[in-house]
Amino acid sequence: MDILPILYKNYSNNSPVSYFCSISNGTSILESPIEFLKGVGPQRGELLRQELEISTFEDLLHHYPYRYFDRTQLMRINDINNTTEYAQIAGTLINVAEEGGGRAKRLVATLYDDSGRIQLLWFQGAQWMKKSLREGERYIVFGKVSVFNGYYNIAHPEIELWNADTAIAGRQPVYSTTEKLRIKGITNRSFAKLTAALFEKVRPADVPEVFPDQLLKQYNLCNRYTAIRGVHFPENDAHEQAARYRLKWEELFISQLMIARLRQQHTAQQGWKFEKVGDNFNNFFKLHLPFELTGAQKRVLKEIRQDAGSGKQMNRLLQGDVGSGKTIVAVMSMLLALDNGFQACIMAPTEILAQQHFFSISQLLGDMGISVKLLTGTVKGKARKEILQQLADGSLQIAVGTHALIEESVQFKNLGLAVIDEQHRFGVGQRARLWKKNEIPPHVLVMTATPIPRTLAMTLYGDLDVSNLDELPPGRKEIKTVHRRDAARAGVMEFLRKEVDIGRQVYIVYPLIEESEKMDYESLMAGYEQVKIWFNENKYRIAMVHGRQEAGERERNMQRFVKGEADVLVATTVIEVGVNVPNASVMLIESAERFGLSQLHQLRGRVGRGADQSYCILLTGNKVSDESYKRIQIMVSTTDGFKIAEQDLAMRGPGDIYGTRQSGEFKFKLADIVADGAILEQTRHAALQLIAQDPALTLPQHRGIKDMLKQQNRQSHWGKIS
Ligand code: ADP
Ligand code: MG
């Protein structure tokens, strides 16, 4: 059964997925191997293939420049001042010399024009640079201007021989290349030459239009050849802008179309019908619900009931900021599945989180007589066998677990609902395996605490229906967030002690992004020793959890804190998601400058879960970089997850948002989903309209789009998992 969208792509390398494809009939010149291009040949061809995955004419056509040298836009060196960020200058190169030694070794050169001189610097690749630079020659140089010892300089500039006779008229495109290619003589400039040679061969007819005329007109797009030509060799600003606009539009449109098609497929998928609300749901609601549901929780439950009762498969994303109460929504949805004779499961990305869910769900359901069990990788032997048996014969009603739940050996009798918590940690392939568990796929509720900016949501989750838990449970006080530097540590610890003295619990979190990092591990241990001194070990109870502990030990320590048997929890980011200890009032984050915004937000969400005042203290070194400072200030200024997510996206770009654990991301060649949000909205609209008008893309004028989509699906492994 193939249903699940591959929202995330797994790249084996960093090269972006090409959003372009040939619409050829198999004889297109664009399919010619790259070595056949004038100036390439077998050796360079092989290199281009290895380094940049350029293996055909077409690939080179889509290797776009990232900027242009415009020889008319030169700055005089003397005009560089404090406000100059980037400068393009031309002049004569002299005094090329290596300076310093060891790690500080660098290559230095001077460029002068008739107004003044400036230093150029290379810290990497100095050897090779030195060989390739020619003293006394005229160069054109571009780069970021900085100041050192009172003098302006440009480090790692782009530099090209002026070489007026071979200069391409007007602007010269600048292409990304690699160290290895450069060493073999394929420089930015060679790319410009190769691309110029390519355009000698490639005619407008070789790059046929894929969009119908009507679409071009409606959205004011130039044709495809003009666009591709214009992005390499723009005749003027207007040409360049039109070209980029068209190509960005195309990239975003295709992505939105793929999403729209997935959505179309979801909606057509038959699903289990949860027709009734029965005893489990009703009893729980009347007798076990520990609080009044918020309006948002009620609304979302209604949305889920409607979906699940429709006879179609539900694919719903439940988005709710940390602490908004997603767990109870999941529990009640699972009860609904039980009422209709189905099993349900909830999956979490980490062992600790699964355990925590198991613990709180068991507690919530109390003596209702529902069988709930935990299945994680550490459940082995007889216990595991028993759970598997009960899942297969249907006697186990709710399974709580990690990835272990979707292993081949795990078979459900009739899985009706799968809840996936903290979705961005859960690989797509893993989620997809769920589908093999049943004839008809279970309803899927994906819960995420990471608020996603609208533009990103459109791109990542455009195929899912979205529910928002946009209301926090009543009586919550805003978490007070402060930034403190190392120098103020004593005061911070004093504050933590006072909180513990009035009966609260505190978290102290250390960065340990990858559990294997030795330095982090050592600083955690050193921190732990210090905490034992700050907090008198005999008086206060301290627990520690981290990823290197054996799972049982980690769990015992965690439970001590959860049950209130420990006052202080020294931890790594293993506690980042989901952990729920309402009595905890302080989250102290050590080396906060090393965390990303969404991680900080997640961590902060571990406190403020009860009615009392809570605090988040971001402890940093005495000196922090501008960028880190900016992040810290955002955290101090707002607790609104959406605002933080927007800022995060703006600061880091979508690729980084989910951090290193998350393999997938969208990579567009030209489009930027933040800066090009307006185009994205347009393309989404256009894609939906197209699908509504011609669902299977069978109309002749949609042929080009259809082919492009097909190829895209193939290339990006993006379509579906079967
Ligand atoms: P998250 O959305 O971050 O997973 P949880 O489901 O863990 O949030 O809920 C956070 C805390 O709020 C828990 O202690 C939970 O018991 C409590 N809670 C959830 N819903 C309500 C409500 N309607 N009223 C009061 N407390 C609630
Ligand atoms: Mg949660």
**In sequence order, what DSSP letters do the residues of 664-700 get, joined into one string?**
-----SS--TTTTHHHHHHHHHHHHHHHHH-TT--SG
Counting beta carbons within 10 angstroms of the beta carbon of residue 381, is it exposed (0 to 12), middle (13 to 18) or buried (19 or more)? exposed
Nearest to 59 by CA among 40, 84, 75, 72: 40
Q: Considering only 18-22, 485-489, 501-505, which range has the smallest mean pLDDT?
A: 18-22
Determine the number of helices (DSSP H) and then strands (DSSP E) in the chain.
23, 21
Q: How far is the CA of 365 from the centre of ligand 2 (A)?
A: 17
Span 89-108, average pLDDT: 88
Name the closest-CA residue to atom 25, ligand 1: 473
Q: Is the pLDDT of residue 3 over 60?
A: no
Q: Is 327 in the pocket of ligand 1 (CB under 6 A)?
A: yes
By DSSP bridging, strand 542-545 and strand 568-571 are parallel
Q: Is the pLDDT of residue 45 over 90?
A: yes
pLDDT, tens digit (0-9, with 9 covering 90-100), for 665-707: 356 788 887 778 889 889 999 999 999 999 999 999 999 999 9
What is the position in ligand 1's atom list of the atom closest to the CA of 322?
Answer: 3
What is the position in ligand 1's atom list of the atom closest to the CA of 610?
Answer: 14
Q: Is the pLDDT of residue 133 over 60?
A: yes
What residues contact 103, with CB distance under 8 A and at least 6 apart? none
Q: What backbone torsions phi and psi does residue 97 show, to the nearest 5 degrees?
A: -155, 150
Span 103-122, average pLDDT: 91
Q: Is the pLDDT of residue 8 over 50?
A: no
The preferred substitution site among 470, 471, 580, 606 for testing ligand 1, maximizing ligand atoms within 8 Å of CB, is 580
What is the position in ligand 1's atom list of the atom closest to the CA of 580?
Answer: 7
Element (H, E) at 512: none
pLDDT, tens digit (0-9, with 9 covering 90-100), for 258-298: 888 877 877 777 889 999 999 999 999 999 999 999 999 99
Q: Is the pLDDT of residue 149 over 70?
A: yes
pLDDT, tens digit (0-9, with 9 covering 90-100), for 71-93: 677 899 999 998 888 888 999 99
Q: Is the pLDDT of residue 12 over 60?
A: no
The model's confidence at residue 438, banded by pLDDT at 50, 70 and 90, is low
Measured at the alpha carbon of residue 358, what is the angle toward residues 356 and 362, in degrees to the nearest 5? 120
- 348 forms bridges with which residues in the sheet? none
Span 98-123, average pLDDT: 90
Q: Is 579 in the pocket of ligand 1 (CB under 6 A)?
A: no
The model's confidence at residue 200, banded by pLDDT at 50, 70 and 90, is very high
The more confident residue out of 649 and 561 is 561
Span 226-236, average pLDDT: 93
Q: Is the pLDDT of residue 7 over 50?
A: no
The preferred substitution site among 327, 365, 447 for testing ligand 1, maximizing ligand atoms within 8 Å of CB, is 327
Name the closest-CA residue to atom 16, ligand 1: 325
pLDDT at 11: 26
Ordered by where they begin, the domains of the chain are 4-66 (no CATH), 73-166 (2.40.50.140), 279-469 (3.40.50.300), 480-638 (3.40.50.300)
Q: How far is the CA of 578 from the centre of ligand 2 (A)?
A: 4
Nearest to 297 by CA among 422, 468, 417, 411: 468
Does the predicted model carry a pTM greater than 0.75?
no
Span 125-151, average pLDDT: 87
Identify which ligand lies nearest to the alpha carbon of 350: 2
Q: Is 326 in the pocket of ligand 1 (CB under 6 A)?
A: yes
Cα distance between residue 257 and residue 583, in whole Å: 47
pLDDT, tens digit (0-9, with 9 covering 90-100), for 571-602: 987 776 667 889 999 999 999 998 888 889 98
The model's confidence at residue 351, banded by pLDDT at 50, 70 and 90, is confident
The more confident residue out of 474 and 16 is 474
What residues contact 462, with CB distance under 8 A and at least 6 apart? 256, 259, 260, 263, 684
Q: Is the pLDDT of residue 659 over 50?
A: no
Ligand 2 is an ion; its neighbours by CB within 5 Å are 578
pLDDT at 422: 72
What is the position in ligand 1's atom list of the atom closest to the CA of 469?
Answer: 2
Q: Is 349 in the pocket of ligand 1 (CB under 6 A)?
A: no
Q: Is the pLDDT of residue 513 over 60?
A: no
Span 206-231, average pLDDT: 95
Helix-helix angle 237-268:703-716, to 10 degrees: 80
Q: Is 602 in the pocket of ligand 1 (CB under 6 A)?
A: no
Q: How far is the CA of 546 from the centre of ligand 1 (A)?
A: 25
Contact 607, 616 (CB under 8 A): yes
Cα distance between residue 688 and residue 685, in whole Å: 5
pLDDT at 426: 53
Q: How far is the CA of 332 from the centre of ligand 1 (A)?
A: 13
What is the position in ligand 1's atom list of the atom closest to the CA of 292?
Answer: 23
Start-end of H helices in 340-448: 351-365, 381-393, 428-433
Q: Is the pLDDT of residue 657 over 60?
A: no
Cα distance between residue 550 and residue 573, in whole Å: 16
Q: How far is the CA of 322 from the centre of ligand 2 (A)?
A: 7
Q: Is 663 in the pocket of ligand 1 (CB under 6 A)?
A: no
Span 483-491, average pLDDT: 95
Expressed in angstroms, the distance from the first to the final Cα of the chain is 6
Span 361-381, average pLDDT: 92
Q: Is 325 in the pocket of ligand 1 (CB under 6 A)?
A: yes
E-assigned strands of 7-166? 65-70, 86-99, 106-112, 117-122, 138-148, 151-155, 158-161
Cα distance between residue 324 and residue 328, in whole Å: 10
The model's confidence at residue 432, banded by pLDDT at 50, 70 and 90, is low
Q: How far is the CA of 291 from the centre of ligand 1 (A)?
A: 9
By DSSP bridging, strand 480-485 and strand 505-509 are unpaired
